[in-house]
Amino acid sequence: MIMKHFIRLITIFTAVFSISNIAEAKSGELQAECAAYWQGTWQMSAEGRPVRLFTLGEDRSGNEMTGRYSGYGNAVSTFEEAELTEKVVSYPLSKVHCNGNQIIMEYVLPDGETNSFTARYIDSDEGWLALNDLPPEYTSPKYRFRRIADNDPVTLQPVKPQRLAHDIWGVDTISSNQETARIFEEDQAIRNELSTRIEDKIASDEEFFKRWESGDAERLARTKQLLENGELKAGVDYYRAAFIFQHGNTPEDYLRAHHLAVIAVSLGYKQALWISAATLDRYLLNIGKKQIYGTQYRSVNDVNEQIEFDQAVVSDAERKMLSVPVLDDQ
């Protein structure tokens, strides 16, 4: 009986060892296949001119590769308005981790900051590249790039910055609307002034409230014109416009504010998640329904009091998705 159990244990151990060897061999095959995908030179172009290169070398240690990045650097004032600089930079890739049909590449800048990219292989001649480690409110564009022959000499060429997004990202360059930015600043300034008056116990006179009311009306009217003229393009434009309509006077204003916030999120501007929830709550309250997220408050004896809301419609997990506090934190 003992011998029988011993033989069974040996059989199980042999099977497990064989499965482990098969898995390890399969993993090695996949890593080798991944490296075979990516070895070579990949080029990103704008205006038909090469502006960035990734050169990936031979497999070094199973799933690690060598490589180098060369290209025009980015001069970034905001994430919505990235432009190419006129200076070509070149850095060795500090990390090239191969995993199936995608790789993670990193290089270290002179100031010690690390740029990280994820690249996905589409076919033998094309792939896309996305930036990693962006703030959560931003979504990286997907850069298109293609393989070029190793013996094909490439000289990087300057290109007009406004063509970068069109030719590499596949969309037109989007700059935020400066008038919308000014309108939003004015909208926030009057509300900050009210907060300061409350904190400093300064009475808000009739003139102040008239200035507030007339300013809101002017800002709303002008934002409507900008929308009708198609002058809002970037996600941040729609985010700012959502606040202007949120400070309107009618259910239709609040519903349109929600609509604008959704557009902002769809354009990758994740800072608009909370206002997308708040605008819907305000709309529901103004058509005689209960709010569902709990974003709306009213002042009672100089104390902010949360307006009653239907807590059963959405879950805490869904609230988190829209940057709204969970029930226990409200």
Instruction: With both helix axes pointing from N to C terminus, report the angle between 273-286 and 235-246 in degrees, rounded to the nearest 10.
Output: 30
Query: Residue 23 falls within a domain, yes or no?
Result: no
Q: Percent of the chain having pLDDT more than 70? A: 67
How far from 322 is each of 21, 265, 272, 318, 319, CA to CA, in Å? 46, 10, 9, 7, 5
pLDDT of residue 243: 96
pLDDT of residue 143: 65
Q: Is the per-residue pLDDT at 318 higher than 70? A: yes
- The answer to whether residues 188 and 325 belong to one domain is yes
Mean pLDDT lowest for which of 57-61, 178-182, 257-261?
57-61
Indicate left, alpha or beta for 244 from its phi (over 0: left) and psi (-120 to 50: alpha).
Answer: alpha
On the question of pLDDT at 20 being above 50, the answer is: no
183 and 325 share one domain:
yes
Last residue of a domain, one of 169, 193, 219: 169
Task: Write down the pLDDT at residue 244.
Answer: 97
Asked if residue 237 and residue 188 are part of one domain, the reply reads yes
Domain span at residue 320 reads: 178-329
The predicted structure's pLDDT at residue 124 = 62
Per-position b or e across 50-67, b if 16+ CB within 10 A of its CB:
bbbbbbbeebeeebebeb
pLDDT at 224: 97
Residue 295 has pLDDT above 50, yes or no: yes
Of 122, 142, 169, the one marking the end of a domain is 169
- Name the percent of the chain lying above pLDDT 90: 30
Is the pLDDT confidence value at 196 over 90? no
Tally of domains within the chain = 2
Q: State the pLDDT at residue 30.
A: 45
Strands 303-306 and 297-300, how do they pair? antiparallel
Residue of 282 and 233 predicted with greater confidence: 282
Which of 169, 189, 213 is at the close of a domain? 169
Same domain, residue pair 197 and 315: yes
Q: The CATH number of the domain where 54 resides is what?
A: 2.40.128
Residue 222 lies inside a defined structural domain of this protein? yes
Q: Are residues 182 and 92 in the same domain?
A: no
pTM for the model stands at 0.53
**Is residue 245 domain-resident?**
yes
The DSSP output letter for 171 is S
Q: Looking at the structure, do residues 165 and 201 belong to the same domain, yes or no?
A: no
d(CA 251, CA 256): 9
Q: Residue type at 53?
A: L
Confidence bin at 253 (pLDDT 50/70/90): very high
**What is the pLDDT, as a whole number, of residue 153?**
61
Q: Which amino acid is at 206?
A: E
Q: Report the pLDDT averaged over residues 244-255.
A: 97
The 10s digit of each residue's pLDDT in 23-71 is 333 344 445 667 777 788 888 766 566 777 888 876 555 556 788 888 7
Lowest-pLDDT range of 3-17, 113-127, 209-223, 253-267? 3-17
Residues 299-308 have pLDDT tens digits of 887 778 899 9
Q: What is the pLDDT of residue 206?
A: 85
Write the single-letter amino acid at 25. A
Q: Are 121 and 228 in the same domain? A: no
Residue 306 domain-assigned? Answer: yes
